[in-house]
Structure 1
C-alpha cells in the first residue's frame, strides 16, 4: 500500500476570513447596485400631450395635457386631487397642465395638506424599494413622499408618492422652481376653483389658501384692486365668453376684472392663447396667436383692432389697464366659465402637517 503524501500546509488553500467574506459581500452588493442603476428606466404613460380642450375627467390612464404657452412665467402651484386621481399645474394662476396620476394604495395613503418641494432629483432611485427608479423626483416630505414618474394603472398603487406620466413629470420638473407649493386634497373630483375646464385657480401660490374674489355688484361695470406692485411681474388677461368677463392677473393674483360685450365678438370654440408683441414701426401692441395643443393652426394669427373694439370695455377701465400692458403679456380667450359661482362650490384645504422648510 502506498501511503498518501501528507498535505503541505503552505500549499493548502486558505479559507476566507470574516473580513474577506465581508469585503466580498460588499463588493457583490455594490455590483448589484451598479447593475440596477444602469438598468433601463421604464417609460410610463403617453409620450405626447392631448389637446388643451380635452377636459381633465376625459383623460384616459397615462394621458396628460401640457400648454405652458398660456402662462410663460409666474408662480407655479400644483393641486393633486386624490379622489379623481388627477393633478393640475397652475402658473400665474392659469392652468398650464393636468394629468392622470396614481397615489398611495391602501395602507400607504398619500398624506393630504399643503407642501413645498424640498428637493429635486432628475435621476433619483429609491433607497428603500430595491433601488427602484423614480425619475424627475420632487420631494414633498423627508419621510419619502414625492412627485415623480411612475406606474399608472388607473387607481392608487404607490407606496405614498404621486406617480405621474414620464413625459409630463419631465415637463413639470423643468417648469417648477424649488419650494413650489403642492396642495394634496381628497377633493370632489374638481380643483378648488371648480370649473368644468379649470382654467383659473383661486389658491395662493405660497400658502395654498383660497383667494376667492366676489362677483361684480349689479351696478358695477369693472373693478381694479391692489395687487403685486412689481411693474415687471407677469401679466395675463383672461376673456371668458361664457361669463362675459375680462380678468387681469399679475404674479398669480387677480388685480382687475370687467364686464365685456361678447355679442359682437367672434365665436371661439375651446381655449386660445395670444401674446402681446410690438413692431418697430407700430407703437401699439399686436396680439399674436400661439400654438397650444389642439390649436396649432392658430399660431401667427392676429387679433385686429376691430375685434378688440367690439369688446366694448369701459373707458375708465382701459385707462387704468393699458399702462400695465407690455410685450410678453398673454391673453387667453375661452368659451369656458371662470367665475367661481358659475362653476362650483369653493373647497377649503386644511393642512394637519405644516410643510417642512
Structure 2
C-alpha cells in the first residue's frame, strides 16, 4: 500500500519540483534586427540557423553584462547577463567547460536551482540560468536568461571555450598560426634552456592522455608552448618569438570547421587589460611571430581539429612565476587528485593532470 501511495505521489512531486525552479528572462528571442544596446535585462537574441555547425566560443563582457555566442566564428546569439557582485567577482580569463548539468542544484547555496549549468572552474563558477536584475548580482557565476541558457546548453560540450573579459571583443578570422609550422632551417631551433634539459627542444607524451579536448598555451615570457589534452600535459616545446621586445597581448584562438586550403582556419579573441599587454589595439596576427621545432609541429598538427584552443600570452606560465594571477585555462581533475596541482615544469616525471594554468 505504501508503495502504491508513493507511486501515485510521484507526478505531484515532479510538478512541485518544476514549480520550484524559477524561469528567468524572456521566453523567446527578440527579433534578429534588434540593436543589442536596447536589450533589456532578461532579453536575448538567438540566430542559431546562421551557422548550423562548427565549434562554439562564448564571450562574456563584464562591463556590458552581456554574453555573446559564436559558432564557427559567426555570432549566433547575444544575451543580457548578470555576473559576480562585489566580494564575489567573476574571474576573467579563458576557460573550458568542465561538465554540464541540466538540472543542477547548488550544494553551497541551500540547494538553489541552477538550470542548464555549465561549470568553468573546479570551485564552481559556471554559466547557468539565473536572476537578471540588470547589474552584477551573482556569487561569481554568469547568470543567463533561462531560454537562452537552454539553447546554449544544447550546442556546447565539455571542452568548449569560454572567454570572460573586461570588455567586449569579437572573434576575428586569422591565417594559419606560424607557431604550428616548422621553424625555418636557416633560423634553427630556439637556444636550449634548463627547463627541458640541455638537449631537449620538445617533449611529446600523447599516451599520457589519449582522448579529450586539446588546449595549447603559449608564453612569450617563458618561450614555451604547453599542450594539454583533457587537462593533462602531453607535450611542451621551446618556441622562438620574433620581435620579442614588442608585446604579443593575450589572445585565444579556436580552430574553425571547414577549410579549402588544407590548413585549419582560426578565430581570434583578444583579452584586453591583462598582464604585460600593450594598451594599443589588438593584433590578432601576433601568433605569427611564434615558431616551434619542426619535429614537434609534425606531431601536433594531426591533432588539430575544430574546437582546439590556443591561448597566447606575454606573461610567464611556469611554476616559478610569482605575482597576481589570471586564470587562462582550467580543466577537471580525476577523482582523488589535489586541486592545487600545477603544470609540471622542467623535471622528467610523467605529466600530471592540472586544475589550472595561471599567468602573471
Alignment TM-score, normalising by the size of structure 2: 0.49
Structure of larger gyration radius:
1
